[in-house]
C-alpha cells in the first residue's frame, strides 16, 4: 500500500472521529438545553411567597418511618422539584426530615446522593447534624460510601454550621477514622478545619507519619501534617512537600457551597454568613481604662496603645481559634494586624498562609455558575488587598497565588485587585521576576487597549516606589556582616537574599518599562494617557537616587525624551523638562556621595545625558534647535538627511527653522505665548497690539510703534513664570537651572528684593 493511500485512510479516520465527536457534542448540548428548559418550567411561577406551600404538598406524609417504597416514590418527586430546592433552600423542619431519611442509609446510592443535594438550609444549622454523622463512623461500617458521602456533605456546608464546639470534642474520633481508607480524605478535611495548637501532640504526629509511610494515596495525610507543621516548625514533612503546593483540601461539592451562598442572598439574610459567625466567636479583650491614640482604624474606631493591650491574651485567643477562623479574624481586624506587625510570629504567619492558599485556590478553581462576576473570589482578593495595603508588604503565599494566577489571567478579571497586589510583590532576581510577572504582563500589554497599557505602567511605578522605600542601606550593611544568608529585617514578611543583586534588578526593571513606554507611544500614536503614565514613571525614577538613597541613576532612552518633547501638548513637554532637571540634580548630588554608595556611571553616560539638556535648552531658549548641522552630533540624534529635509519643509512653508521648537513658536506653547501677550497688553493698554508670534525683532518693532515695550529676555522670563503658575513648572525649573541669562536675571531679582527689605 502506498504512503498516499495510507495517508488518505488516516484522514478518513480523523474526519470520521471528528464527525462522531461533533455529533456527541451536539447531543450533549441538546441534553443541556433540554435540562435547562425543564428546570425553567419547574421554576416558572415559583417565588419566595409560595415556595413553602409547594414543598409542603410534595413532601406531605414524608417521614423516616415510612416504607421504602413510599420513600423511594417521594425521592422521585423530589428529583422533579430539585431546581426549586436549589434556588430557595429548605426550612428547618423539612431539612431535618430529609436528613433523618439520609442517615438511615436505606436508599440506593443514587437516591442517597439526591437526598444530600436537597440538604440546603436557608439558615445556619446546628452542629448536631455533623456530630451525628461522625458518631456513626465505626470499623464495621457495611456502607462506607454512604458515610463518606455524608462527611463530604458536612464539609461542603461547614460555613453554615452555627457553632463547632461539639465537633472539636470529637477530634479523637475523626483522627482514628484516618485508618478507614474510604473516609480518610473527608476526615482529613474536617480535621484541617478544626485543628488547633492543643491537638498537635507527639503521638498524633507519629501516627500521621506512620500512615503516610504505609499508604500510597496519602496526599490528604500530608496536607494534614502540613497543618500540624504550621503550629510546630520542627515537624518534618516527607517527599519535599511545600505549603504552597499542598492544595489538597478541595471542597467536595462546590455546587452545594455556591447554592448556599445564592440562597442566603435570595432570602436577604446575610450574603457573608461565615464571616459573621466567626466574628461572633472571637472578641478582643475590653479594657475600659486603656489609653487612646489619636489615630483611628479604617472603621473610625480609636486604636489603643499596643502596650496597654494584653498582647499575650490576644495571641492566645488567636491560638484557640481553628485555622479557618484565624484568617477571617486577622484579615478583618485592624488591631490584630497591628499585633501581627509589631510582634511578628512566623508560626502564625505560616498558619495564615496555609489557609489563604487553600481558600484562594478553591475559589479560583471552583466557580459559582450563578456568580457570573465571581464576586466571592473578588471579595477575598479585596480583603487581601486591604490587608496588604495596611502592612505594606506581601505574604509570600499571596505572591505564589498571584504568580500562578498570572499564567492564565485574561487581563480584565479583578484588574484593580491584581494590579495592586503586584505593586506589593517582594524584590527578587530579575530572571525570576521576569518569568513570573514581567513576561506574562508584557504579552497582555501587546494586545491591550491604551487604558490597560497605561494602568500597567502606573502599576509598575507603584511597585518601584514600594521597592525604593525599603532600607537598602541597612540591607547592604547586613550583607557585609555575613552572619546569615537572608535579610529578614528589611521587609515585614518574607526575606531578601544576600545573593541577589537587587540594584541590578531595579536597573533592569527600569529598562524593561522604558522599552514598554516607547512601544506604547508608538502603538498608540503618543496617546496622552500613555504619555502621562510614562512621565509619571520617570518622575519617580529621576528622584529615587536622591530621595530614596538608591545609588544608581538610570536615565530614559533618547527616543522617550524626544517623542515627549516633540509633542503638540504642553503637558509632556513641560514634564519631560522637569524630569531632566531632576536628573541634573541627581548627578550633582551623586558627586557628593561616598564612593561605595554612588552611581559609577561612565563619562560617556554623563555626556549622553548632557546631550538631552543641550538639545532641549537650545530648542526652547537659544532658538537653535534644528537649524544647523553639527559635526560632533546633530540635535536629538537626527541624521544629516533628517535635518536637511526638515529645513526644506520650513523653507517651503516660509517658517523659521530655528524657532520652530522655541517657547514662543512651538506647536505646544505658541497658544500659551499668544494668550500671555494678550494679558500683558490688556494690563498695559498700548495703542498697538500684537498680531504675530513673539520674537526679539517683533518686540522692538512693537516698542517703536506704541506697542508693548518689553525686552525679549524679560518677556520670556515672565512667560516662564506665567507657565509655572499654570502648573507647567518643568520648563521653568530646567531653564532657570541651565541658562546663564536666566540665572543672572534671578540673581538680580533676589538682590533687589533683599535691598528693598533692608
Is residue 200 located within the same domain as residue 341?
no
Q: Is residue 513 part of a domain?
A: yes
Amino acid 17: pLDDT: 44
Is residue 534 located within the same domain as residue 674?
no
Is residue 479 located within the same domain as residue 529?
yes
Amino acid 9: pLDDT: 38
Amino acid 229: pLDDT: 83
Is residue 212 located within the same domain as residue 133?
yes
Instruction: Look at residue 292 and give its three-state secondary structure.
Output: strand
Of the pLDDT bands very low, low, confident and very high (cuts 50, 70, 90), residue 60 is confident
The stretch 637-646 carries a mean pLDDT of 82
- List of long-range contacts for 607-610, beta carbons under 8 Å, 24+ apart: 608/555, 608/558, 609/555, 609/583
Amino acid 279: pLDDT: 31
The Cα 118–Cα 78 span in angstroms is: 8
> Residue 25: pLDDT above 50?
no
> Residue 163: pLDDT above 60?
yes
Is residue 604 located within the same domain as residue 484?
no
DSSP H or E run through 487: strand 486-487
Amino acid 16: pLDDT: 46
> Residue 480: pLDDT above 50?
yes
Amino acid 561: pLDDT: 95
Higher model confidence: residue 345 or residue 11? Answer: 345
Radius of gyration of the chain (CA): 36
Is residue 455 located within the same domain as residue 568?
yes
pLDDT tens digits, one per residue of 335-368: 777 777 776 666 677 767 777 877 787 777 766 6
**Structural domain of 700:** 669-756
Q: Is residue 23 part of a domain?
A: no
Q: What is the pTM of this model?
A: 0.71
> Residue 14: pLDDT above 50?
no
- Which of 539, 558, 593 is where one domain is finished? 593
* Number of domains present in the structure of the chain: 5
Q: Give the chain's end-to-end CA distance (angstroms, integer).
A: 112
Supply the angle between the helices 254-267 and 144-156 in degrees, to the nearest 10.
40
Amino acid 15: pLDDT: 39
> Residue 658: pLDDT above 90?
no
Average pLDDT of the chain to the nearest whole number: 81
Is residue 623 located within the same domain as residue 587?
no
In this predicted structure, which of 99-113, 204-218, 625-639 has the lowest mean pLDDT?
625-639
Instruction: Look at residue 90 and give its three-state secondary structure.
Output: strand
Ranked by mean pLDDT, the top range of 225-229, 485-489, 580-584 is 580-584
Amino acid 481: pLDDT: 78
- Which of 225, 255, 285 is where one domain is finished? 255
Amino acid 10: pLDDT: 31
Torsion of CA 82, 88, 93, 96, to 10 degrees: 50
- Burial call 56-68: b when 16+ CB within 10 Å, e when fewer: eeebeebeeeeee
DSSP letter assigned to residue 426: P
Q: Which residue has the cell 515537624?
A: 235
Is residue 59 located within the same domain as residue 91?
yes
Of the pLDDT bands very low, low, confident and very high (cuts 50, 70, 90), residue 551 is confident
The Cα 25–Cα 11 span in angstroms is: 21
Amino acid 312: pLDDT: 47
Q: Is residue 203 part of a domain?
A: yes
Of the pLDDT bands very low, low, confident and very high (cuts 50, 70, 90), residue 121 is very high
Is residue 250 located within the same domain as residue 335?
no
* Phi-psi group of 494: left, alpha or beta (phi > 0 → left; psi -120 to 50 → alpha; rest → beta): left
Is residue 524 located within the same domain as residue 555?
yes
In this predicted structure, which of 144-153, 242-251, 265-274, 443-452 has the lowest mean pLDDT?
265-274
Q: What contacts 367, CB < 8 A, 6 or more positions away?
A: 374, 377
Amino acid 74: pLDDT: 87
The stretch 600-607 carries a mean pLDDT of 87
- Which of 609, 640, 661 is where one domain is finished? 661
In this predicted structure, which of 181-195, 498-512, 618-632, 693-707 has the lowest mean pLDDT?
618-632
Is residue 635 located within the same domain as residue 675?
no
- Burial call 194-223: b when 16+ CB within 10 Å, e when fewer: bbbbebbeeebbeebbebbeeeeebbbbbb
Amino acid 198: pLDDT: 87
> Residue 280: pLDDT above 60?
no
Amino acid 239: pLDDT: 57
Q: Is residue 536 part of a domain?
A: yes
Amino acid 707: pLDDT: 87
Of the pLDDT bands very low, low, confident and very high (cuts 50, 70, 90), residue 28 is very low
Q: Are 366 and 260 in contact (CB under 8 A)?
A: no
Ranked by mean pLDDT, the top range of 221-235, 492-506, 717-731 is 717-731
Q: What contacts 596, CB < 8 A, 6 or more positions away?
A: none
Q: How far is CA 478 from CA 377, 467, 471, in A?
A: 40, 18, 11
Which three cell numbers, joined as nine digits, stand for 56? 409542603
> Residue 244: pLDDT above 50?
no
> Residue 139: pLDDT above 70?
no
DSSP H or E run through 303: strand 302-304
Q: Is residue 60 part of a domain?
A: yes
Is residue 511 located within the same domain as residue 656?
no
Higher model confidence: residue 36 or residue 72? Answer: 72
Amino acid 366: pLDDT: 67
> Residue 288: pLDDT above 50?
no
The Cα 517–Cα 515 span in angstroms is: 5
> Residue 320: pLDDT above 60?
no
Amino acid 57: pLDDT: 87
Task: Residue 377: count other Cβ atoms within 10 Å of its Cβ.
Answer: 22
The Cα 362–Cα 368 span in angstroms is: 11
pLDDT tens digits, one per residue of 388-400: 888 888 888 888 8
* Phi-psi group of 114: left, alpha or beta (phi > 0 → left; psi -120 to 50 → alpha; rest → beta): alpha
Percent of the chain's residues with pLDDT above 70: 79
Q: Is residue 38 part of a domain?
A: no
Q: Are strands 496-497 and 486-487 parallel, antiparallel or unpaired?
A: antiparallel
The stretch 112-139 carries a mean pLDDT of 89
Find the DSSP H helices in 59-126: 68-80, 82-88, 92-103, 109-118
Higher model confidence: residue 301 or residue 620? Answer: 620
Amino acid 154: pLDDT: 94
Dihedrals phi, psi of 524, to nearest 5 degrees: -110, 20
Of the pLDDT bands very low, low, confident and very high (cuts 50, 70, 90), residue 4 is very low
Q: Is residue 31 part of a domain?
A: no
Q: Are 71 and 104 in contact (CB under 8 A)?
A: no
Nearest 5 degrees, angle CA 84-CA 87-CA 93? 70
> Residue 478: pLDDT above 50?
yes
Higher model confidence: residue 542 or residue 327? Answer: 542
Q: Is residue 645 part of a domain?
A: yes
Higher model confidence: residue 397 or residue 613? Answer: 613
In this predicted structure, which of 80-89, 337-346, 681-690 has the lowest mean pLDDT?
337-346
Amino acid at each position: 500500500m502506498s504512503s498516499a493511500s495510507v495517508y488518505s485512510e488516516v484522514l478518513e479516520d480523523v474526519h470520521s472521529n471528528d464527525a462522531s465527536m461533533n455529533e456527541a457534542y451536539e447531543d450533549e448540548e441538546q441534553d443541556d438545553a433540554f435540562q435547562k428548559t425543564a428546570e425553567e418550567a419547574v421554576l416558572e411561577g415559583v417565588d419566595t411567597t409560595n415556595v413553602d406551600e409547594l414543598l409542603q404538598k410534595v413532601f406531605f406524609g414524608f417521614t423516616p418511618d415510612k416504607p421504602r417504597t413510599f420513600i423511594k416514590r417521594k425521592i422521585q418527586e423530589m428529583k422533579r422539584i430539585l431546581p426549586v430546592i436549589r434556588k430557595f433552600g429548605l426550612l428547618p423542619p423539612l431539612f431535618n426530615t430529609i436528613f433523618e431519611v439520609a442517615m438511615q442509609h436505606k436508599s440506593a446510592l443514587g437516591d442517597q446522593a439526591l437526598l444530600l443535594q436537597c440538604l440546603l438550609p436557608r439558615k445556619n444549622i446546628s452542629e448536631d447534624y455533623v456530630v451525628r454523622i461522625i458518631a456513626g463512623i465505626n470499623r464495621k461500617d457495611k456502607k462506607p460510601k454512604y458515610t463518606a458521602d455524608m462527611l463530604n456533605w458536612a464539609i461542603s456546608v461547614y460555613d453554615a454550621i452555627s457553632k463547632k464546639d461539639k465537633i472539636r470534642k470529637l477530634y479523637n474520633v475523626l483522627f482514628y477514622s484516618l485508618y478507614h481508607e474510604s473516609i480518610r480524605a473527608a476526615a482529613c478535611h474536617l480535621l484541617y478545619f478544626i485543628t488547633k495548637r492543643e491537638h498537635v501532640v507527639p503521638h498524633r504526629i507519629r501516627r500521621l507519619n506512620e500512615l503516610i509511610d504505609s499508604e500510597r494515596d496519602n496526599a490528604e495525610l500530608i496536607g494534614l501534617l502540613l497543618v500540624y507543621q504550621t503550629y510546630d516548625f520542627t515537624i518534618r514533612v516527607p517527599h519535599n512537600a511545600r505549603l504552597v503546593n499542598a492544595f489538597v483540601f478541595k471542597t467536595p461539592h462546590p455546587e452545594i457551597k455556591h447554592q448556599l451562598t445564592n440562597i442566603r442572598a435570595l432570602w436577604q439574610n446575610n450574603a457573608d454568613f461565615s464571616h459573621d459567625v466567626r466574628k461572633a466567636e472571637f472578641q478582643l479583650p475590653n479594657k475600659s481604662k486603656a489609653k487612646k491614640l489619636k489615630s483611628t482604624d479604617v472603621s473610625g474606631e480609636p486604636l489603643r496603645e499596643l502596650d496597654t493591650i494584653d498582647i499575650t491574651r490576644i495571641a492566645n485567643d488567636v491560638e484557640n481559634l481553628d485555622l479557618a477562623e484565624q484568617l477571617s479574624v486577622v484579615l478583618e481586624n485592624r488591631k490584630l494586624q497591628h499585633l501581627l506587625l509589631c510582634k511578628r510570629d512566623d508560626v502564625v504567619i505560616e498558619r495564615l498562609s496555609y489557609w489563604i492558599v487553600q481558600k484562594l485556590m478553591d475559589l479560583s478553581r471552583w466557580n459559582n455558575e450563578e456568580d457570573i462576576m465571581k464576586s466571592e473570589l473578588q471579595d477575598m482578593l479585596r480583603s487581601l488587598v486591604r490587608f496588604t495595603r495596611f502592612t505594606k508588604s506581601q505574604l509570600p503565599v499571596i505572591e505564589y497565588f498571584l504568580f500562578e494566577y498570572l499564567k492564565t489571567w485574561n487581563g480584565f478579571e479583578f484588574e484593580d485587585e491584581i494590579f495592586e497586589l503586584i505593586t506589593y510583590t517582594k524584590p527578587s532576581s530579575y530572571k525570576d521576576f521576569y518569568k513570573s510577572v514581567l513576561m506574562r504582563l508584557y504579552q497582555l500589554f501587546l494586545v491591550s487597549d491604551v487604558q490597560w497599557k497605561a494602568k500597567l505602567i502606573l502599576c509598575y511605578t507603584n511597585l518601584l516606589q514600594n521597592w525604593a522605600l525599603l532600607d537598602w542601606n541597612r540591607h547592604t550593611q547586613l550583607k557585609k556582616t555575613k552572619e546569615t544568608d537572608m535579610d529578614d529585617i528589611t521587609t515585614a514578611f518574607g526575606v531578601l537574599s544576600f545573593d541577589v543583586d537587587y540594584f541590578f534588578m531595579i536597573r533592569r526593571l527600569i529598562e524593561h518599562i522604558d522599552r514598554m513606554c516607547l512601544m506604547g507611544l508608538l502603538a498608540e500614536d503618543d496617546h496622552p494617557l500613555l504619555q502621562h503614565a510614562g512621565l509619571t514613571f520617570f518622575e519617580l525614577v529621576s528622584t529615587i537616587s536622591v530621595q530614596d538613597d538608591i545609588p544608581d541613576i538610570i536615565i530614559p532612552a533618547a527616543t522617550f525624551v524626544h517623542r515627549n518633547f516633540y509633542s503638540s501638548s504642553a503637558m509632556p513637554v513641560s514634564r519631560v523638562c522637569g524630569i531632566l532637571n531632576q536628573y541634573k540634580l541627581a548627578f550633582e548630588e551623586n558627586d557628593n556621595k561616598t564612593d561605595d554608595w554612588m552611581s559609577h556611571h561612565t563619562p560617556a553616560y554623563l555626556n549622553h545625558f548632557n546631550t538631552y539638556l543641550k538639545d532641549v535648552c537650545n530648542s526652547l531658549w537659544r532658538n537653535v534647535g534644528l537649524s544647523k548641522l553639527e559635526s560632533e552630533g546633530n540635535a536629538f540624534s537626527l541624521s544629516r538627511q533628517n535635518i536637511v529635509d526638515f529645513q526644506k519643509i520650513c523653507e517651503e512653508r516660509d517658517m523659521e527653522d530655528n524657532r520652530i521648537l522655541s517657547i514662543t513658536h512651538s506647536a505646544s506653547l505658541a497658544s500659551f505665548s499668544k494668550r500671555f501677550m494678550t494679558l500683558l497688553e490688556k494690563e498695559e493698554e498700548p495703542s498697538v497690539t500684537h498680531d504675530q508670534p513673539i520674537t526679539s525683532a517683533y518686540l522692538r518693532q512693537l516698542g517703536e510703534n506704541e506697542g508693548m515695550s518689553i525686552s525679549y529676555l524679560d518677556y520670556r522670563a515672565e512667560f516662564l513664570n506665567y507657565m509655572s503658575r499654570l502648573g507647567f513648572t518643568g520648563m521653568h525649573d530646567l531653564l532657570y537651572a541651565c541658562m546663564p541669562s536666566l540665572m543672572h536675571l534671578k540673581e538680580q531679582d533676589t538682590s533687589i528684593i533683599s535691598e528693598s527689605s533692608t
